[in-house]
Structure 1
């Protein structure tokens, strides 16, 4: 084990701390202040631990912990028990995820946990949220396929509860779709695990990377294809992405933000591991390139057709998964480093934008463009917190979205294949169409007068003045909200904090991209991972 005693102590904490905190917050269900304090403290501890793991992994290399001390019985053999592995990639995913999860829990507390419906069982929100956090961290730390599956199942079961919290008709309908798709992906993943174990006799990823080298190419390709289908559903890679825009927008704003920012990236992380550690050699790279191009274009074309901002952002989420698949499929260090940097960028930006939609609903009572207008005049602060991450998503220089896309375009041009050049062209087109979608939201929701909106005249409930000019004030309709026109500072602060962290990827782009480049080199060099887990690379 590399990293010493400190690393051994820190490695399991991102899973253990949220799990224990979930149990305590569940017992404290009638003490909401205590619940909130425990949740914030637990995720703050995980953030500190994750930052320390980033430092240790970057300084010392891959850290492997054999839980319970059940390590390899002899050099070159796989461990008997559970293995947790921290390298530069997983450490980066841990720290970015913990930042997002902590910011969103502050946002949820500022919002009052619920989103307007007093019937929502808010006492179970934080325990379930902490369980989901533990599942995400477990997936990033898993050193074998079965515990990766367990991490997926933990976060998915928690997500079922969070998605349907409040049990409204729309949420239950979306939850049923989400559950069915998740069950299919889990069954495919479990089927893939069974095939892998039947072929190799192990599920430890380090040992698998050695044993799979002795398997015939056709069998390896078939195993990779099965796992790619499972991970592609979870990552929302086209054509396995149609479930996402119908599932995410119905949930409360904090839940939607976490789902959009994190859950699909766990699938992308699994694709990176399978592609680089278990099945290197590029057998399905062309398939991934085609899937990446289709994901970009179909996602952004779907976004253009939307009038609800939540659904629009859900389609852009699908679209930008294509950039990550593009970088992975190139099988080069620059492509992988660009993909890793873009994953970190997209987690932060996409989460921020969904939190902003929650603020828009608080300010205006709706998120559909037909009912919105005049938001820039009504709330310049709201306009600012929208436009910064929106331009970042669109890839306007010098934001991190531009830096990540340039790296991917450079990697694609260096590859020189016809498919790579098609992806370069598709990336540029997608970026331009993303800017068009953002400009459309800005002009309709923020710039025009609300009285010019097709449904801006609708009213119901208490009137809310959105603009300083009394002549431009209109009544707005809201069905189950009693908080329209108020944006709590507890919601604005975490949103602004995520914007600041996203801008850090721009301000400190040099050292952060250098880190992602080292992470990419480590991911592509399987020997470091294998040596950390098995003790040596078997011959």
Structure 2
């Protein structure tokens, strides 16, 4: 009838409670990086202004992610649902201590990379998209850490992968294109497995909301059924590829040494950790029963990844390839934490160790690649046989490198020591002595590999074939580059964090423990996403 109105109770389908102002921080990382990437793209021809704008936006990203982390630690898990539709129909964005911590640490690393790139990325690299690609890469990384929906995890993975392809071939050199093909093929396979597993998961539960799936899995009589076993196996293979776990890790050392050194630094710090994060979300939050029966397989993969990564580093003379293998070895330590978590009583300690190790690896591997870039400028080569005498060129830099070498080896008093202690403790308490032993053996082999770099590049007097003390002089443009604060400031900040987390680990241990608790005991996470219905 004309003029009549019908009263509709939107509370049955939509969230009607006003969103707290502080909760808008949860979408700030994605908004800053998406809008920032578009702005930098529009300014691509202004190669002087673009890096300043890019660094400014990355600084905003650090502040926003820090504010989000503080908000989560103060208020608990926070959720925002797109369109205000009630979950599981509305797409939820959720920040818990795990996601907020990794978003913040990733933002700090990206900011340092943006500053470092001001000196190491050429005008041509800026013109063809370094800063837009870096910002859009962070859109995908932050989105992956903060989504509460499995399909959107897939979407954010695709965003970061597309951006990473652009960064990988920036420069258009033959070796870069060769590395990009290997990188792209393996990630294409992993992405298809991810999508197939997600389709099967939706077919089983009719939802892809992580909290909703966790509730429905918990209600099953047989949460380790054949269908879910297939889904779990597909997810493990897909994310193992993306995390560069054995035996699908050969793409990483074949590609990470090919791009600009700052791109390698960002990749080594962030990309593989997103794969590990996804494994923790899927297996600990959503499919804990699948983790129990797959624990031995995951443990074997972890050991193989730990040992092959460390041995591969020992066999290399090209510094960037050597560091690529150390990235792989670090992934093994995180997978060990996932395998140990299946033992129930040690789950929180094991996942805490894996989270702390992920934070440590993000920082130290980014810093090591930056240090490798400076070594390349000093010695005009990345090959250990052609390096030498760097100690005499810069005692301070030699000290910084030694700190990072100790940290990546897991030696005290630096950041790598404490997560290894946590993981080994959890392994021994959980009766998985072989995993604890593998972590220790890998650490010993890593120490040998980094000691070899120190002796060849820093301690001996000059390159192979020259008289002791006759190191290659750095002149001209390289000397000018080495005096730039854009190189030393980000490396100094990351090294300071390595030292701080080693000498004062309590804050990071507490963050890691809260992050682990949010997935091991997900009541708060589920309640935040689903509300009273959870």
- Asked whether the two chains share a fold, i.e. TM above 0.5, the reply is yes
* 1:307 aligns with one of 317, 338, 349: 317
Using the size of structure 1 for normalisation, the TM-score is: 0.91
* 1:337 aligns with one of 340, 348, 352: 352
Q: Which residue of 2 aligns with 1:241?
A: 249
* SS of equivalent to 1:250: coil
What pairs with 1:14-53 in structure 2 (closer than 5 Å)? 14-53=29-68
Gap change, CA 1:239 and 1:3, over 3 Å in 2: farther
What pairs with 1:408-427 in structure 2 (closer than 5 Å)? 408-416=423-431, 420-427=432-439
For each residue in 1:199-231, what CA deviation from the matched residue of structure 2 results, as whole angstroms up to 9, or x when unmatched? 111111111112234256222221111111111
Residues 530 and 537 of structure 1 are in contact (CA less than 8 Å); yes or no, is this contact kept in structure 2? no
Q: Which residue of 2 aligns with 1:230?
A: 238
- Say if 2:217 is the partner of 1:212: yes
Q: CA deviation at 1:121?
A: 5.7
* 2:285 aligns with one of 269, 274, 277: 277
Residues 461 and 471 of structure 2 are in contact (CA less than 8 Å); yes or no, is this contact kept in structure 1? no
Root-mean-square deviation (CA, aligned residues, Å) is 2.0
Q: Which residue of 2 aligns with 1:82?
A: 91
Q: Which residue of 2 aligns with 1:438?
A: 450
* 2:516 aligns with one of 477, 497, 520: 520
* 1:326 aligns with one of 336, 351, 366: 336
Residues 359 and 382 of structure 1 are in contact (CA less than 8 Å); yes or no, is this contact kept in structure 2? no
* SS of equivalent to 1:65: strand
Q: Which residue of 2 aligns with 1:483?
A: 478
What pairs with 1:355-370 in structure 2 (closer than 5 Å)? 355-370=370-385
Distance 1:121 1:167 in 2: 13
Residues 373 and 444 of structure 1 are in contact (CA less than 8 Å); yes or no, is this contact kept in structure 2? yes
Residues 365 and 484 of structure 1 are in contact (CA less than 8 Å); yes or no, is this contact kept in structure 2? no
- Say if 2:402 is the partner of 1:392: no
Q: Which residue of 2 aligns with 1:263?
A: 271
Distance 2:266 2:82 in 1: 29
* SS of equivalent to 1:535: helix
- Say if 2:470 is the partner of 1:472: yes
Q: CA deviation at 1:261?
A: 0.5
Q: Which residue of 1 aligns with 2:7?
A: none
Structure 1 portions without partners, runs of 5+: 73-77, 458-468
Structure 2 portions without partners, runs of 5+: 1-14, 342-346
Q: CA deviation at 1:529?
A: 1.3
For each residue in 1:254-297, what CA deviation from the matched residue of structure 2 results, as whole angstroms up to 9, or x when unmatched? 10000000000000100000111110131211111111111101
Distance 1:384 1:346 in 2: 19
Residues 249 and 314 of structure 1 are in contact (CA less than 8 Å); yes or no, is this contact kept in structure 2? yes
- Say if 2:500 is the partner of 1:507: no
What pairs with 1:122-141 in structure 2 (closer than 5 Å)? 122-141=127-146
Distance 2:349 2:529 in 1: 26
Q: Which residue of 1 aligns with 2:305?
A: 295
Distance 2:473 2:77 in 1: 58
Runs of 4 or more off by more than 3 Å in structure 1? 1-4, 118-123, 473-476
Gap change, CA 1:120 and 1:42, over 3 Å in 2: closer
Is the deviation greater in 30-39 or in 235-244?
Answer: 30-39
* SS of equivalent to 1:64: strand
Aligned length: 508
Residues 43 and 101 of structure 1 are in contact (CA less than 8 Å); yes or no, is this contact kept in structure 2? yes
* SS of equivalent to 2:79: strand
* SS of equivalent to 2:373: helix
Q: Which residue of 1 aligns with 2:296?
A: 286
Q: CA deviation at 1:314?
A: 0.5
Q: Which residue of 2 aligns with 1:466?
A: none
- Say if 2:161 is the partner of 1:161: no
Distance 1:526 1:85 in 2: 13
* 2:440 aligns with one of 428, 450, 453: 428
For each residue in 1:507-532, what CA deviation from the matched residue of structure 2 results, as whole angstroms up to 9, or x when unmatched? 32112212211221122012211111
